[in-house]
Amino acid sequence: MAFQRRQMVDVRHLGLKCATCGVEISELPFQPSGDRPVYCKECARQRRGPSSGGPRGPRRRY
Ligand SMILES: [Zn+2]
């Protein structure tokens, strides 16, 4: 089974900055569309993290 790895896109020439912390972004796991905010690895991970209790939160049945 081949594990599909995301290809990183070099965006250093675009001079993008993280919409949350403002750090300069050198690469993204996707091609930036230009009209959407981009996030650095740390902020992207925090946004996707389950800590904020999204729709996939822990199930609780009473
Ligand atoms: Zn950031």
For the chain, give every domain's residue range: 9-48
Closest by CA to 30, choosing from 17, 20, 39, is 39
Computed from CA positions of residues 30, 24, 10, 2, in that sequence, does the dihedral angle turn out positive or negative?
negative
- 42 contact partners, CB below 8 Å, separation of at least 6: 21
Calculate how far, in angstroms, residue 30's C-alpha sits from the geometric centre of ligand 1: 16
What would the mean pLDDT of 44-58 be, rounded to a whole number? 71
Calculate how far, in angstroms, residue 27's C-alpha sits from the geometric centre of ligand 1: 12
Identify which has the larger pLDDT, 2 or 31: 31
Mean pLDDT check: name the lowest of 5-14, 16-25, 46-55.
Answer: 46-55
